[in-house]
Amino acid sequence: MARVKIIGEQPLCGAVKISGAKNSALPIMAATVLLDGESLIANVPELTDITTMVRMLRSINIVAEQNGHNIRIYNKKHLKHLIPYELVTKMRASFFIAGPILAKVGMVRVPMPGGCAIGSRPVDIHLKGFQALGAKVRLEHGFIEIRCPKLKGAYVDFPFPSVGATENIMMAATLAEGTTTITNAAQEPEIVDLAELLNKAGAKISGAGTSAITIHGVSKLNGVEHEIIPDRIEAGTMLLAGLITRGRIAVHNVRPADISALLSALTIAGAKLTVKNNSIEAASGSVWRSADIVTNPHPGFPTDMQAQIMAYLALADGMSTIRETIFENRFMHTSELQRMGANIRTEERIAIIKGVPKLSGAEVKATDLRAGAALWLAGLAAQGETIIYGVEHIERGYEKLTEKLSQLGANIKRIN
Ligand SMILES: CC(=O)N[C@H]1[C@@H](OP(=O)(O)OP(=O)(O)OC[C@H]2O[C@@H](n3ccc(=O)[nH]c3=O)[C@H](O)[C@@H]2O)O[C@H](CO)[C@@H](O)[C@@H]1O
Ligand SMILES: C=C(OP(=O)(O)O)C(=O)O
């Protein structure tokens, strides 16, 4: 079983370049289903989730060639409408391809995505959105079948600003007849990136990045070249790697505005930040204070940074609280952090963290991607040796993490 061994307490210092955003690359790759001809997507991170999406595109007859950080896509053939079960169970973002296939082919059959380690993750908001655009939805034998020969623009009001549902409905509506308005839309930077790709391809989308998005349907979209935005979650995780080890790390190729909620929290905790146009340097201050964090849809504090900030606050002076409002079960890392000596108590969706002076290395298991990142951070700070199992989770979302941390001075090794 693959695992990672870290000998902690080495201050990480230096500069690191942040990769392209997984959560932007995945919906953008799904969107290429809508684009006729050839597209080139650049700055795509090399991750297992990306390989899964390449396989997904190939499974429906799209030619997708990955060459390092570039993916060339040829969409010239007759597309299939069936998404393989095996791929959907591997990666939740597989469901993001449903909207584009529906709009392009007139129907899609997709296995019902199950829950995962962070929550039950239903797709009701996506399905109600498709129905509002005129689609018929049927659930049968574990598959969702969605049909509509020609989608019609509509008013779609979300009960919650779901990132995936905003992306799915926005993509589907680009080829609908007439105008669609999504209200209570998610405002994440990855949605803006997706809208920019689609607009380059000929779509007419306005308002992406706000809570109201308008999409005027067009008859056709063309292949484009597009560069994926930097990964704000990787950037935040790397800044914490420097801070938790009392080192000094500069992250390059970042967009500071995308992580302003994290930067505010770090400032409250006492970190010294130097923010430039596309780089941020973080160094520990004279104090390492506690903080109270509430995860929220963007521009709030991202749930995808919740586990990592918990590892950091486990070593702060005083009592911190974290309230997780997005996923109902995203505290799986707490028991593993406790095994490393953290003092954390959870009460439903609230974690109460009493800072301790030291963590101690232990054998621990990552149960999901960001839980894994939290354990990596804890291992970097802890006294002695930490062995982390569940490496496959971290490899879904962090490109060359072991190499990047080694270059910054970490004593870290992947063992096969
Ligand atoms: C590939 C990708 O971009 N993943 C991100 C995306 O996931 P994803 O798009 O799946 O997250 P959503 O914003 O949809 O989910 C947020 C909450 O809404 C609930 N919900 C969602 C859809 C639905 O139809 N019904 C429903 O109840 C979910 O169970 C969850 O509790 O946004 C999340 C929230 O920022 C991030 O943590 C994920 O990293
Ligand atoms: C939850 C995440 O991803 P996904 O939606 O792909 O599971 C994440 O990136 O932290």
| Claim to verify: residue 123 and residue 188 sit in the same structural domain | yes
The verdict on 263 and 324 lying in the same domain is yes
Q: What is the dihedral of CA 115, 392, 370, 228, to 10 degrees?
A: -100
Distance 220 CA to ligand 2 centre (A): 31
Q: Which ligand is nearest to the CA of 394?
A: 2
- Dihedral over Cα of 42, 76, 168, 66: its sign: negative
304 is in an annotated binding site: yes
Alpha-carbon distance of 306 to 233, in angstroms, equals 10
CB of residue 232 inside a 6 A radius of ligand 2: no
Residue having the nearest C-alpha atom to atom 22 of ligand 1: 123
Q: Is 5 annotated as a binding residue?
A: no
What b/e string do you get for 329-368 counting C-beta neighbours within 10 Å, with b at 16 or more? Answer: bbbbbbebbbbbbbebeeeebebebebeeebbbbebbbbb
Is the minimum distance from the CB of 397 to ligand 2 under 6 angstroms?
A: yes
Cα(58)–Cα(248) distance, integer angstroms:
43
* Integer Cα distance of 198 and 191 in angstroms: 11
Q: How confident is the model at residue 116, as a pLDDT?
A: 81
162, 195, 227 — which closes off a domain?
Answer: 227
| Residue located nearest, by CA, to atom 15 of ligand 1 | 162
- Please name the residue whose Cα sits nearest to atom 1 of ligand 2: 304
- Of 56, 54, 107, 119, which Cα lies nearest the Cα of 86? 56
Residue 380 structural domain: 3-18+230-415
For residue 95, the ligand 1 atom closest to its alpha carbon is: 10
Q: Is the CB of 44 under 6 A from ligand 2?
A: no
- How many angstroms is it from 165 CA to the middle of ligand 1? 8
Give me the tens of pLDDT residue by residue for the chain, a chain 416 residues long.
899 999 999 999 999 999 999 999 999 999 999 999 999 999 999 999 999 999 999 999 999 999 999 999 999 889 999 999 999 988 989 999 999 999 999 999 999 887 788 888 999 999 999 999 999 999 999 999 999 999 999 999 999 999 999 999 999 999 999 999 999 999 999 999 999 999 999 999 999 999 999 999 999 999 999 999 999 999 999 999 999 999 999 999 999 999 999 999 999 999 999 999 999 999 998 999 999 999 999 999 999 999 999 999 999 999 999 999 999 999 999 999 999 999 999 999 999 999 999 999 999 999 999 999 999 999 999 999 999 999 999 999 999 999 999 999 999 999 98
pLDDT computed for residue 147 by the predictor: 98
How much is the pLDDT for 7? Answer: 98
Q: What are phi and psi of 314, to 5 degrees?
A: -60, -20
Are 276 and 403 part of one and the same domain? yes
Domains in the chain: how many in total? 2
- Considering every ligand atom shown, identify the ligand nearest to the alpha carbon of residue 92 and give its number: 2
**H/E element, 272:** strand 272-275
Please indicate, yes or no, whether residues 297 and 319 belong to a single structural domain of this protein: yes
Distance 280 CA to ligand 2 centre (A): 24
DSSP 33: G
Confidence (pTM) = 0.98
| Nearest-atom index, ligand 2, CA of 91 | 6
pLDDT the model gives residue 76: 83
| pLDDT at position 120 | 87
Question: Which CATH number characterizes residue 386's domain?
Answer: 3.65.10.10
CA 192–ligand 2 middle distance (angstroms)? 18
Question: Are 28 and 12 members of one domain?
Answer: no
Q: Are residues 260 and 325 in the same domain?
A: yes
Task: Verify that 68 and 38 share a domain, yes or no.
Answer: yes
Can you say how many angstroms the Cα of residue 208 is from the centroid of all Cα atoms in its chain?
18
Helix, strand, or coil here: 333?
A: helix
Query: Considering 208, 227, 246, which residue would you say is the last residue of a domain?
Result: 227
Does 340 share its domain with 405?
Answer: yes
What is the per-residue DSSP string for 369-401?
Answer: HHHHHHHHHHHHHSBSEEEEE-HHHHHTT-TTH
Q: Which of 18, 64, 71 is nearest to 44 (CA)?
A: 71
C-alpha 370 – ligand 2 centre gap (Å)? 8
Q: How many CB atoms lie within 10 A of CB 225?
A: 13
Per DSSP, the residues of 75-117 read: E-SPPP-B--HHHHHH-GGGGGGHHHHHHHHSEEEEEPP--BT
> Which amino acids are annotated catalytic?
116
Which residue has the CA at smallest separation from atom 33 of ligand 1? Answer: 163
> Residues in the chain, how many?
416
Check: CB of residue 280 under 8 Å from CB of residue 235. yes
Task: Consult the annotation and say whether 23 binds a ligand.
Answer: yes
In degrees, rounded to 5, the angle at the alpha carbon of residue 328 between the alpha carbons of residues 23 and 173 is 40
Q: Which of 304, 393, 394 to mutate to test the pocket of ligand 2 (most atoms within 8 A of CB)?
A: 304
66 and 193: one domain? yes
Distances (CA, A) of 218 to 152, 182, 212: 11, 17, 19
Task: Give yes or no for residue 93 CB within 6 A of ligand 2.
Answer: yes
pLDDT score, position 321: 98
H/E segment holding residue 308: helix 306-313
Structural contact between residues 142 and 111, judged by C-beta atoms closer than 8 angstroms: yes
CA distances from 119 to 7, 186, 292 (A): 32, 19, 23
Last residue of a domain, one of 203, 227, 251: 227
Tell me how far the alpha carbon of residue 165 lies from the centroid of ligand 2, in angstroms.
14
Dihedral, CA of residue 281, residue 412, residue 396 and residue 61, to nearest 10: 110
Shared domain check, 288 and 167: no
66 in Cβ contact with 42 (< 8 Å): no
- State whether 83 and 14 are in the same domain: no
- Does 165 lie in the same domain as 117? yes
Q: Which amino acid is at 296?
A: N
Q: Which two tokens stand for residue 140?
A: 């049968």
- Indicate which ligand has the atom closest to the C-alpha of 29: 1
Token pair in block for residue 374: 């939290």
Residue (of 127, 191, 183, 184) closest to 163 by Cα position: 191
